[in-house]
């Protein structure tokens, strides 16, 4: 049992990173990433960092960077400063009064978890009780203006050693690109698609044509709140239906499985309110035979290291969106960038979430800092 801590300051640090190449999805195109880092320092002097997965705009989920800063500053930080028994395991409980804002809560829990693990000299991997020491690395490939550009990009990722490919799709960019990529990578490589809610129930017959390409899954084709639509789709097609945006809590995960709306779940710790809730969803899915995999949100090495530890749990039976740092960034903010060796990423073995910050580089890309104190 770890000893409780008293948080004395919380730092909200916004950084800006350019992407190595624009990333286009059905909800938009981005060429840079604004990321909120949340640092929690405790009375014993230890500091932990969390990486908030919120995007700059509320186009993937309702949360966005500026809103996260506001809700933490106005509501969440004061509650944590008032806590004398703070542990990673009760951060979510302390913040329970506040509805939603899972990404803000997750970032705070993540920072406290990092501080707790560091002061106890333990790794996240040990804390979660995971056994594997490396995880297969999948890559998420955006939408391009031409199929030639797409095929060149996919070939590049295959050459880098990625274990599976995920293609972003939308109406007008689905059957043909998927067919050509399947042809390019051959029948044995894992291939899946992600629509980020771009389709409607009227597209079920169309989406059934994806069954020809032996996909591992189709991720979030319909609206976030359309669980029954996903159930209808799952009944109509052979490709397994996987939910991402729809799952924002443990209860929603249980309901989606009960309803037959989720045959597979993409677990993103930031989206469900943290790593500890992510583990609960993993355990539930494992006991019910629902495969899970770890999603990504264009994280820096902080989130990537932690995702890697999470994905080393036994129920993560499908490759995650756990790519190398170089997939999105020329230079990562951690001293040891995440790299692919033999199609896998190694689970970090240093205390805490498993990274060491490149402090000077972080300073050089910081666009704003707020330091909240007790």
User: Which x/- pattern over 303-332 shows residues binding ligand OSB (rule: CB under 6 A)?
Assistant: ------------------x-x---------
Q: Count the Cβ atoms, other than its own, within 10 Å of residue 235.
A: 10
Q: Which residues pair with 41 in a beta bridge?
A: 9, 47
Cα dihedral 121, 124, 128, 129 in deg (nearest 10): -60
Q: Smaller CB distance to ligand OSB: residue 41 or 325? A: 325
296 binds, among ligand OSB, Mg ion, none (CB under 5 to 8 A by kind): ligand OSB
- For residue 296, state whether it binds ligand OSB (rule: CB under 6 A): yes
**Residue for token digits 């809730």?**
277
- For residue 51, state whether it binds ligand OSB (rule: CB under 6 A): no
Stretch that binds ligand OSB, among 65-73, 79-87, 275-283, 292-300 (CB under 6 A): 292-300
Q: Which residues pair with 300 in a beta bridge?
A: none
Q: Count the Cβ atoms, other than its own, within 10 Å of residue 25.
A: 19
Distance separating alpha carbons of residues 13 and 8, to the nearest angstrom: 16
* Residue pair 73/16 in contact by the 8 Å Cβ criterion: no
Stretch that binds ligand OSB, among 42-50, 170-178, 291-299, 347-355 (CB under 6 A): 291-299
Q: Smaller CB distance to ligand OSB: residue 48 or 320? A: 320
Contacts of 8 (CB under 8 A, 6+ apart): 41, 42, 43, 373, 374
Written as six digits, the tokens of 144 are 């391009």
**Residue for token digits 């960077």?**
65
**Residue for token digits 């996919």?**
154
- For residue 197, state whether it binds ligand OSB (rule: CB under 6 A): no
268 is catalytic: yes
User: Which x/- pattern over 57-96 shows residues binding ligand OSB (rule: CB under 6 A)?
Assistant: ---x------------------------------------
Catalytic residue among 99, 105, 166, 268: 268
**Residue 115: closest CA among 8, 246, 199, 234:** 8
**Residue for token digits 């910050």?**
357
CB of residue 338 vs ligand OSB: minimum separation in angstroms? 11
Stretch that binds ligand OSB, among 43-51, 68-76, 176-184, 295-303 (CB under 6 A): 295-303
- For residue 140, state whether it binds ligand OSB (rule: CB under 6 A): yes
Q: Which of 137, 192, 196, 252 binds ligand OSB (CB under 6 A)?
A: 196
Stretch that binds ligand OSB, among 172-180, 201-209, 289-297, 342-350 (CB under 6 A): 289-297
Four-residue CA torsion sign, 304, 306, 308, 310: negative
Interacting residues with ligand OSB (CB under 6 A): 60, 140, 194, 196, 244, 295-298, 321, 323
Residues identified as active-site: 168, 268
């Amino acid at each position: 049992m770890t000893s409780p801590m008293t948080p004395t300051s919380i730092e909200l640090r916004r950084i800006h990173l350019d992407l190595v190449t624009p990333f286009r999805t059905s909800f938009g195109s981005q060429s840079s990433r604004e990321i909120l880092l949340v640092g929690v320092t405790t009375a014993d002097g230890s500091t932990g960092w969390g990486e908030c997965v919120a995007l700059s705009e509320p186009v993937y989920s309702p949360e966005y960077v500026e809103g996260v800063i506001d809700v933490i500053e106005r509501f969440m930080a004061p509650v944590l400063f008032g806590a004398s028994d703070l542990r990673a395991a009760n951060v979510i409980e302390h913040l329970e009064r506040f509805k939603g804002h899972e990404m803000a809560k997750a970032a705070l829990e993540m920072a406290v978890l990092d501080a707790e693990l560091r002061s106890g000299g333990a790794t996240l991997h040990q804390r979660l009780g995971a056994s594997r020491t490396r995880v297969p690395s999948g890559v998420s490939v955006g939408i391009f203006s031409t199929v030639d550009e797409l095929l060149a990009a996919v070939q590049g990722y295959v050459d880098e050693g990625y274990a599976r490919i995920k293609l972003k799709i939308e109406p007008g960019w689905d059957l043909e690109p998927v067919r050509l990529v399947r042809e390019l990578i051959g029948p044995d490589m894992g291939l899946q698609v992600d629509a980020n809610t771009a389709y409607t129930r009227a597209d079920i017959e169309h989406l059934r044509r994806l069954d020809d390409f032996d996909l591992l899954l189709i991720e979030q084709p319909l609206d976030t709140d359309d669980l029954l639509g996903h159930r209808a789709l799952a009944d109509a097609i052979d490709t397994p239906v996987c939910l991402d945006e729809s799952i924002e809590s443990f209860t929603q995960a249980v309901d989606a499985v009960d309803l037959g709306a989720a045959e597979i779940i993409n677990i993103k710790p930031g989206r469900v309110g943290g790593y500890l809730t992510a583990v609960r969803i993993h355990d539930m899915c494992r006991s019910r035979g629902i495969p899970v995999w770890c999603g990504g949100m264009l994280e820096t090495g902080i989130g990537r290291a932690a995702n890697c530890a999470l994905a080393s749990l036994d129920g993560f039976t499908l490759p995650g969106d756990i790519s190398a740092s170089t997939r999105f960034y020329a230079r990562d903010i951690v001293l040891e960038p995440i790299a692919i060796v033999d199609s896998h990423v190694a689970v970090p073995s240093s205390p805490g979430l498993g990274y060491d910050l490149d402090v000077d580089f972080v300073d050089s890309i910081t666009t704003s800092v707020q330091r909240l104190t007790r």
